[in-house]
Chains A and B, each alone.
Chain A
């Protein structure tokens, strides 16, 4: 069984400051990793994903994440946030045994990013 832990339920950050949203996972097998964003009153949108290759993954809207296998982490970062980044961010994992795709994803509880002017 897999699990995802997002320790921070809320992260307040000043506009134009850097931010890191933490994600740790546990799994008995190799996994694929994802970050999704949910803007107010909208559906989930994929920010970025790690399938294989370079451990530093770049996504949309200036976000990036680094896969660290030894620490079982996949933290999300952005060097300078904007008001428009205010949203709920979800980390998710998928079992590598599924053949390379995302079967049922296992999500964390989410982190609410609050941008303060």
Chain B
């Protein structure tokens, strides 16, 4: 079956622009996670959805970052007024439920110039 997919695989944008990153979880997985991985670092937790609601958004760095999952499946991470420091690989993961293993997507590499 299909794994977690993320689009685009690469995104280059100018400082100050708005970007949207998309995550398609494994079908039937109720839990969805976003992480950010900067160069030379491990993934850093951003936000966790259980169904349609954000169960934990404590990792979002500031109010420029926002994520939605309106139908409990696909999720979009939105970044407003991008800054060069936002450049990183954004990872999405999903799990069958809160008690199960997280399956990671290949990530979206965001470069802010």
Contacts and interface: CB of A to CB of B under 8 A. Distances in A.
Contact of B44 (A9, A103, A107): A107
Interface of A: 4, 6, 9, 36, 41-46, 49, 90, 92, 98-110
A45 B104 contact: yes
A104 B59 contact: yes
Contacts of A43: 3-4, 91, 104-107
Interface residues of B, number: 31
A20 to B, nearest CB: 19
Contact of B98 (A6, A9, A41, A98): A98
A5 B45 CA distance: 16
Contacts, number: 67
Interface of B: 3-4, 31, 33, 35, 40-48, 55-56, 58-59, 91, 93, 95, 97-102, 104-107
B106 A42 contact: yes
